Amino acid sequence: MGERLHGKRALVTGAASGIGRAVATRFAAEGAQVVFADRDLIGAEQAVQDLPGAVAVRMDVTDEDSVRAAYEQVLTDGAPLDVVVANAGVQLFGQDAPIADLDLEVWRRTIEVNLTGTFLTVKHAVRAMTGRSGANRGGSIICTGSPTGLNGEGRDFTAYSSSKAGVHGLVRTVAAAYAHEGIRVNTVVPGYTETPLVTAISGDEASRAAIVSRTPLGRAGTPADVEGIMVYLAGDEASFATGAIFRVDGGMTSL
């Protein structure tokens, strides 16, 4: 592993498991000082074991006081925060549904975590990154999107699809508003990626086969498939990339 993020400080939400944990761990391997942020503090603490310089903080992305406190904790020493990955999310299998059958509380819970949680994470990331100059100017914010926010892949997941479409729109808006500050904001769209979030699919042979069949590369994704593009966007190689959608979905949204 190289040192492409040497000297950078990064915060990743949802870092106790799945894509978030894989990305945060890869950032550490690439030389970054990484904050593993998650509402599951025990899981985050377990994730940082044996990672020198990595720390765990509790952050409930649906609670602005929790988000604010986590950022304040991270920034106490005055060192800049260069990268934030807004990754925390939920997909309520067995509850999310086509709109005529969707319960309002399922809608609200999904939007609260996926869209409002991203809003709060990005809001405080921007506050941490604005007004800096010289080598510390700006930063990179990366949000985790979904194919369901781009096409009809999530037709049975009204709340989840809508929340991720909202994230895509939020990224474009924030990227345009803060480019003058040197803050870059991009979306990474993983395809079907086997993590604890999707056990309802991965544990059902027929469902898994159906979604893999819609992926031109012919296999499920893994968290490791997402790490590389996140490293690129976090680093200086991506200094001219902002407001964009980077698809790592095995070709799913190319159809």
Q: How many CA atoms lie within 13 A of 118 on its CB side?
A: 27
Q: Which of 71, 160, 192, 232 is catalytic?
A: 160
Write phi, then psi, for 189 (nearest 5 degrees).
Answer: -110, 95
* The pair of three-digit structure tokens given for residue 198, joined into one six-digit string: 């999707």
Residue 245: strand, helix, or coil = strand
Please indicate whether residue 160 is annotated as part of the active site.
yes
Q: Do the Cβ atoms of 54 and 15 come closer than 8 Å?
A: no
Per the listing, tokens 């809003």 go with 119
* The pair of three-digit structure tokens given for residue 195, joined into one six-digit string: 């993590």
C-alpha to C-alpha distance for 78 and 15, rounded to whole angstroms: 23
C-alpha to C-alpha distance for 212 and 89, rounded to whole angstroms: 22
Q: Do the Cβ atoms of 172 and 243 come closer than 8 Å?
A: yes
Residue 68's region, left for phi above 0, alpha for psi from -120 to 50, else beta, is alpha
Active site residues: 160
